[in-house]
Amino acid sequence: MNKFVVFQLEREQYAVPIEYVISIEKMTEPTVIPQMPDYMVGVVRIRGELVPVLDTRKLLYERPFEETDKTRLVVTMVEDVSVAFIVDEAKEILDIPEEAIKQVNMLAYRQTPYFIGVANLPERLITLIDPNQLFESLEGAKAIKEHVQNHR
């Protein structure tokens, strides 16, 4: 069994492998940092650590997030930095059996290497994301990483 943290974004459900997830936090007002990519809304302090906050909706749908009382930060560990992804709602932790996971067709995959598969479950489809790949694929990821590492 593979454990995943499932979250909602727009009308879709996504999941990241639980081993990447540090915590799920309530949305707090990030501190804006100038000269950062537009998908980075700022940084927040979580347990004393500076964490960049990325607008996942902007990354996947090119629209900014809208905050509700269900908005959460899924804090993940990517390449030695913690990064928080804004999600519309954190749903649950789910065991997804290997046989339910289908590989994504190769053509789509080239544009979005961070989609690692689709879980085909009786009631729903969940797109599986590798947060490392997602972060690495971002233009400006290096600048974000450097900023955080310089302000530890």
Express each pLDDT in 46-62 by its tens digit: 999 999 999 999 999 99
- Could you tell me what percent of the chain has a pLDDT over 70? 95
State the Cα–Cα distance between residues 25 and 71, nearest whole angstrom: 9
State the Cα–Cα distance between residues 129 and 103, nearest whole angstrom: 12
Give ∠ CA 81-91-113 in degrees, rounded to 5.
Answer: 50
Mind listing the domains of the chain with CATH numbers? 2-150 (2.40.50.180)
Mean pLDDT, to the nearest integer, of 77-93? 94
Does this model's pTM top 0.95? My answer is: no
Express each pLDDT in 20-32 by its tens digit: 999 999 999 999 9
The neighbour count for residue 117, using CB atoms within 10 Å, is 19
